[in-house]
Amino acid sequence: MEKKFNADNTITPKELAKHLRQPEGDTGKEVGLQMNKGNKHICLNSYQVLNPKNKSHILEIGMGNGFFVKDLLKTADDLNYTGVDFSPIMIDEANVINKPFIDSGIVRFEQASIEKLPFNDNTFDYITTTNTLYFWPTPEDNAKELLRVLKPGGKILVAYRSKSCIDQLELSKYGFTKYEISDVENLLSKSGFKQISSKIIKEPDLDFDGKVLEMEGIYTTGIK
């Protein structure tokens, strides 16, 4: 029998990998809640690295259930946030969790894929995306689509785990494309971004599946 994976032994690594790529149904909802724990540091650090200016409009791709949107909104004054995810259950969850911000008109969520974003050219001041790069279907085309909707002078941030970091997880065998920093910098450069740079931020070790994992996030930024 294939090894079971999470605390109550209900999900295999292969199934968990599928839900990390696109959470679905009740299991997807639970995986979304677990991501808020395992990805807390990389999500919060990504917003600090993004460091938006007051009054800017931010697009996030693949925000999952949007639990950390509240933290992004604290990084500057008068921010406007749009979250895009192709998982219907994550959009539903994000809408519930962020209802007060949606009601006040500063946050909205759209179900769409990174492949074709429902926005005009030059719409956003900032684009951020965390732990989605492994799943981009055609990375150069997808980065160009992000470039299209970013304003001239706008900033993109791609946050991800290194190959060695995710190789610690058995689930990374199932459908993850792994990247080194140079791969991501080349991808952004070939897609038309300028002033590309990367930083690594170490995180506390993570207890996962009975193992202690060494965690770090990589944050690659570029300018249109």
Give contact residues for ligand SAM (rule: CB under 6 A).
20-23, 35, 39, 43, 61-64, 84-87, 90, 113-114, 130-132, 135
Q: From start to end of 80-149, where are the E strands?
A: 80-85, 107-111, 124-130
Minimum distance of ligand SAM from residue 104's CB (angstroms): 23
Query: Cα(219)–Cα(1) distance, rounded to whole angstroms?
Result: 38
Cβ closest to ligand SAM, residue 86 vs residue 179:
86
Q: List, in sequence order, every residue forming a beta bridge with 201; answer none if it has no partner.
A: 217
Cβ closest to ligand SAM, residue 12 vs residue 132:
132
Question: HSE-up of 74 (CA within 13 Å, CB side)?
Answer: 7
Cβ closest to ligand SAM, residue 177 vs residue 195:
177
Cβ closest to ligand SAM, residue 1 vs residue 116:
116
Minimum distance of ligand SAM from residue 133's CB (angstroms): 9
Minimum distance of ligand SAM from residue 35's CB (angstroms): 4
Alpha carbon separation from 154 to 125, 159, 206, 216 (Å, rounded) = 5, 17, 34, 26
Minimum distance of ligand SAM from residue 1's CB (angstroms): 26
Cβ closest to ligand SAM, residue 98 vs residue 131:
131
Residues 6+ positions from 165 with CB-CB distance below 8 Å: 213, 214, 215, 216
Least Cα distance to 39 among 220, 161, 184 occurs for 161
Minimum distance of ligand SAM from residue 160's CB (angstroms): 9
